[in-house]
Amino acid sequence: MSIIALAGPGALGWGAADFLGGKATRKAPTITVVMLSQLVSAPALAVFVAATATAGPRPLDLALGAAAGGFGLLGMVLLYRTLATAGAAIVAPVSAVVTALVPLITGLFLQTVPGPMALTGACCAVASIALVSRVTGANGSVFAARTLSYSLIAGGALGLQLVFLTLPGPTADLWPLVGARTCSILFASLIMFRARGRSAGSGLRMPLIALIGLLDTAAFVFYLYATAHGLLSVVGPIVSLYPASTVALAMIIDRERVGALQSLGLGFAATSLVLTTL
């Protein structure tokens, strides 16, 4: 099976989840939306696991998955916190590109080097992420060193999430994702408990949150099966194209206008998908 048939839906799922997440977090705390979306999608994950598992979980699979969940939650918290306090014009592309580069570099070291076309496609995907993630900011490219460091750490943590989920290998099935979700929900719940005075639930839109959770869970399932059939150095950048689908949805649904750089980024995204199929 072509990895595009698996990695592509993963990128679309994450992009759609981010698009809807932006709407859900306008009236509710981000950490609350993240935790509830993962919690309500737990039954769907259980169905996926029951339908696909060939063996029971191994402690190492769950432990590596838990590490992935910890990195993922850390990356999301840092990313949203940095976006809230600094210009998104720098934070978004830096963190998104680092997220794609971590699995790309890790895969090149741990696995076989992909063919020239696939590798070129992966590099085009990274370029696309940098371009489509750029937004107009009032401060332009002027930012503090702390903002840059937080952006790099957030992107690195999200990239490590992708790497740690694949370390157990394809024989682990979806059990690493179970470990990741368990860890993420527990730590997010602790954060919510500490901030309970500031986490009012009056703005929660549960149907929307449930849809976000289902899309996010399905995207992770597609990602794990893509890495089972393809190289991490190619799959990682392809699934990290999710900002492109977020931008596309904003164009279609919200009628947002897209700048020249973002349009160029969408072109790079299409090119990367074509090259990785050759």
**Could you tell me which of 273, 182, 178 has the C-alpha nearest to residue 226?**
273
What tens digit of pLDDT does each residue of 126-184 get?
777 777 766 554 444 445 567 778 878 888 999 999 999 999 998 999 999 999 999 99
Q: What is the pTM of this model?
A: 0.83
Torsion of CA 190, 192, 195, 198, to 10 degrees: -170
Q: What does the alpha-carbon distance between residue 48 and residue 227 come to, in Å, rounded to a whole number?
A: 17
Task: Decide: 176 and 70 in contact? Cβ < 8 Å.
Answer: no
Which region among 57-61, 113-117, 135-139 has the lowest average model confidence (pLDDT)? 135-139
What is the reported pLDDT for 193?
Answer: 80
Q: Where are the domains of the chain?
A: 4-275
What tens digit of pLDDT does each residue of 210-264 get?
999 999 999 999 999 999 888 888 888 888 887 777 777 777 787 767 677 767 7
Task: Decide: 74 and 95 in contact? Cβ < 8 Å.
Answer: no
pLDDT at 12 > cutoff 60: yes
